[in-house]
Chain A
């Protein structure tokens, strides 16, 4: 891909990458570093293959991998296999019942920030960046079915935490 074309593509997906990095790392300086790294990588390797998904998915995958790198370096979060964690039986209460809209937003925001990265990243990709399961699967390098189950686990975990404030 030509450089000028690449720069145009980057301009379109850059803010999404930035949002992903900021929300995953919770740190503006680290996020800027990650983005710079990702852009430099894209400009250097230029190996985007359109047959394997969108440019956006490719770029976000690079950003995501850099973020994981940093999270691991800083050891802010223990490495756990989210897939193997058994979900407890859900008892449901509507979140509206426990808090007003604003309170709820504050609680959700706080709980989201402290979820394990594997839950957080999939929620960011789905709820903030509004991506479909197929595209999320390409970014995380997992099948669409796994996206669905991971997302459901992430939402369940968040719901459980939000409910615990009730």
Chain B
């Protein structure tokens, strides 16, 4: 494939999709007029594109039923998400309050106070590790530089 053909080849998809500038379009027009190979290639790509498009009816669901189901599930999930936020928030407040009261209370023997302290610390560590995992998962949500 000579250099001119290679340069024109790159433009053929854009030519088919009518996405070229006028200048590039004219360049392709001029070239394929005199080049049997590139005009055959253009026909090939055109036929291929048409046969892919013909699969569309098969591949793109026309009925909305599937979509409705998805939407309903998603709505249910956001609702339950809100429920969880409320429950977790309330538990936090209550546990915090209980801890505060406990700290101020006179408890004997002191070992009980140590144990409860350890319990709170353990819960805090667990919570932090869950948060960290969540944050990490969120970071990989960005795909700016991902090539597949």
Contacts and interface: CB of A to CB of B under 8 A. Distances in A.
Partners in one complex: yes
Chain B interface: which size bin? 35 or more
Given A14-B67, A36-B70, A141 B77 contact: no
A68 B143 CA distance: 9
Given A14-B71, A68-B143, A94 B51 contact: no
Contacts of B147: 79-83, 118
Interface in B1-58: 1, 9-14, 17, 19, 37, 40-41, 43-45, 47-49, 51-56, 58
Contacts of B10: 148-149, 152
A156 B56 CA distance: 19
Contacts of A123: 52
B73 to A, nearest CB: 5
B146 interface: yes
B74 A36 contact: yes
A32 B66 CA distance: 8
B52 A94 contact: no
Tell me the interface secondary structure of chain A in the complex.
Answer: helix
Contacts of A49: none
A93 B62 CA distance: 34
B47 A127 contact: no
B41 A127 contact: no
A35 B13 contact: no
B44 A68 contact: no
Contacts of A7: 71
Contacts of B19: 132-133, 144, 148
A128 B67 contact: no
B146 A68 contact: yes
B41 to A, nearest CB: 5
Interface string B128-140: 0000000000001
A145 B54 CA distance: 26
Contacts of B140: 69
Contacts of A93: 44
Contact of B51 (A83, A95, A121, A144): A95
B112 interface: no
Interface string A90-134: 101111100001001100110010001110010110111100110
B44 A95 contact: yes
Contacts of A32: 66, 69-70, 73
A69 B45 CA distance: 31
Contacts of A158: 48, 52
12 contacts: A18-B67, A22-B61, A36-B70, A36-B73, A40-B74, A40-B78, A69-B141, A82-B147, A83-B147, A124-B59, A127-B56, A141-B143
